[in-house]
């Protein structure tokens, strides 16, 4: 999944840029019930120059989770995203 680098919300603290991005993923069965789920927290810390470069390109997020064999519809919600509510899976 790609998250737009410039959409992540960073806070400046003691000269460094810091962001916590919570990611919730839910795999839905064809009947709409939840087949599997995961959550994760991305902790990003950068110096000013690193932060500037980071925001110029998408951030590629990957995760694995266990689920029984089957067909699923996957929904992934990263937050916060600075008012932008999209990403590419």
What pLDDT shows up at residue 84?
52
pLDDT for the residue numbered 88: 45
Among 67, 61, 79, smallest CA distance to 8 is for 79
Beta carbons of 37 and 87 less than 8 angstroms apart: no
- Grouping H, G, I as helix, E, B as strand and the rest as coil, residue 52 is helix
The model's pLDDT over 26-84, given as tens digits with 9 standing for 90+, comes to: 999 999 999 999 999 999 999 999 999 999 999 999 999 999 999 999 998 888 765 45
Residue 89 pLDDT more than 80?
no
What's the pTM? 0.76
* Three-state secondary-structure class, residue 6: helix
Instruction: Report d(CA 34, CA 29) in Å as an integer.
Output: 6
Average pLDDT over residues 5-30: 91
Band (pLDDT 50/70/90 cuts) for residue 2 is confident
Residue 18: is it exposed, middle or buried by C-beta count within 10 angstroms (0-12/13-18/19+)? Answer: middle
């Amino acid at each position: 999944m790609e998250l737009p680098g410039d959409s992540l919300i960073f806070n400046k603290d003691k000269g460094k840029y810091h962001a916590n991005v919570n990611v919730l993923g839910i795999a839905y069965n064809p009947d709409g019930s939840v087949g599997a789920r995961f959550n994760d927290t991305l902790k990003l810390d950068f110096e000013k120059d690193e932060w500037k470069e980071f925001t110029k390109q998408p951030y590629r997020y990957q995760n694995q989770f266990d689920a029984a064999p089957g067909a699923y519809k996957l929904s992934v919600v990263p937050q916060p995203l600075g008012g932008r509510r999209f990403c590419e899976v």
